[in-house]
Amino acid sequence: DAKTTQPNSMESNEEEPVHLPCNHSTISGTDYIHWYRQLPSQGPEYVIHGLTSNVNNRMASLAIAEDRKSSTLILHRATLRDAAVYYCILRRYGGSQGNLIFGKGTKLSVKP
Amino acid sequence: NAGVTQTPKFRVLKTGQSMTLLCAQDMNHEYMYWYRQDPGMGLRLIHYSVGEGTTAKGEVPDGYNVSRLKKQNFLLGLESAAPSQTSVYFCASSYYIRDSTVPSYNEQFFGPGTRLTVL
């Protein structure tokens, strides 16, 4: 699976939008972009995924660059509960049994 | 639905002792996984299973064994614990995409973790 690069940490103020970047310059045409997050002392949870088009769900939005070499996870209004480590992961369609390869992720701090 | 549950939540072992971690899921998922997470690191895959009676090695399988005798359970065993196995262990499960011609994903659902310390 191709590698992703994320900033180690980011800060945000409560109720402001947050843009979490991810670079994946070696992405292949069949790689899906997945985001998971891990709240303190919990297991990871799925946030969102996409292939080429921007995606929205109840938790977040995913903006994918036209060349797919980067993407941005957007939290529209950060809450204190959004403080977590966010992982950007590439998953190859049809890839081996759905294994996830986690990097170190971005630790998001949210200030009240 | 309880989702994915793990037993125990915490455990302290002495070097050389053995133990089994139990993962259970009630979502009828085909796939199950065991990961470990060391401080400040992302998760690393230990072993996984694509169905009852089948298991396979992940990225860091040494020192661990697994069994999937029932679809809903996935057991992780440490035969002779070592301090290097001190970690938080997460189990996960996901459904199986049967139609491989359709682009799709299989979201993984994670358990709450087991914190293991080996002295």
Residue A102 — pLDDT band, cuts 50, 70, 90? Answer: confident
Of B46, B63, B21, residue with least CA distance to B55: B46
Average pLDDT, chain A: 90
Q: What is the pLDDT of residues B9-41, one digit of tens each?
A: 999 999 999 999 999 999 999 889 999 999 888
- Strands, E assignment, chain B: 4-7, 10-13, 19-25, 31-37, 43-51, 54-57, 65-67, 73-78, 87-94, 109-110, 114-118
- Is A44's CB within 8 Å of B90's CB? yes
Q: What is the pLDDT of residues B58-89, one digit of tens each?
A: 989 999 999 999 999 999 999 999 999 999 99
Residue in B40, B42, B108 nearest the CB of A98: B108
Which positions ≥6 away from A9 have C-beta within 8 Å? Answer: A106, A107, A108, A109
Q: What is the pLDDT of residues A25-69, one digit of tens each?
A: 999 888 889 999 999 999 999 999 888 989 999 999 999 999 999
Q: What is the pLDDT of residues B94-116, one digit of tens each?
A: 886 655 544 455 788 999 999 99
Q: Are B95 and B30 in contact (CB under 8 A)?
A: yes
Residue in A36, A46, A97 nearest the CB of B48: A97
- Is A51's CB within 8 Å of B103's CB? yes
Which positions ≥6 away from B27 have C-beta within 8 Å? Answer: B1, B3, B4, B93, B95, B109
Q: Are A53 and A40 in contact (CB under 8 A)?
A: no
Residue in A32, A44, A45 nearest the CB of B105: A32
**Nearest residue in B to A86, CA atom:** B42
CA–CA separation, A41 and A22 (whole Å): 24
Identify residues of B whose CB sits under 8 angstroms from chain A CBs.
Answer: 4, 31, 33, 35, 40-45, 48, 50, 56, 58-59, 90, 92, 94, 100, 103-113
